[in-house]
């Protein structure tokens, strides 16, 4: 099917309860890839939250 530059394609998701994040990753199946991605996500989220908090504190100090 051809889709133009502004076209959108939608499909019905698999009906399973749990998404299989490793499906289609081939060589990553059977490895700790999924867990490492989750850990990286958590680390990046924590770093973002920390930076946002420092930014808010600095903004508050500058407004005094």
pLDDT for the residue 47? 95
CB 19 within 8 A of CB 31: no
Residues of the chain with pLDDT under 50: none
pLDDT of residue 62: 92
Nearest to 28 by CA among 16, 19, 20, 40: 20
Task: Please give the pLDDT value at position 22.
Answer: 55
């Amino acid at each position: 099917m051809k889709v133009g530059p502004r076209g959108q394609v939608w499909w019905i998701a698999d009906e399973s309860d749990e998404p299989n994040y490793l499906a289609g990753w081939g060589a990553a199946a059977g490895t700790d890839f999924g867990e490492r991605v989750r850990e990286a996500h958590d680390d990046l989220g924590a770093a973002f939250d920390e930076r946002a908090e420092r930014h808010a504190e600095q903004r508050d100090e500058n407004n005094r």
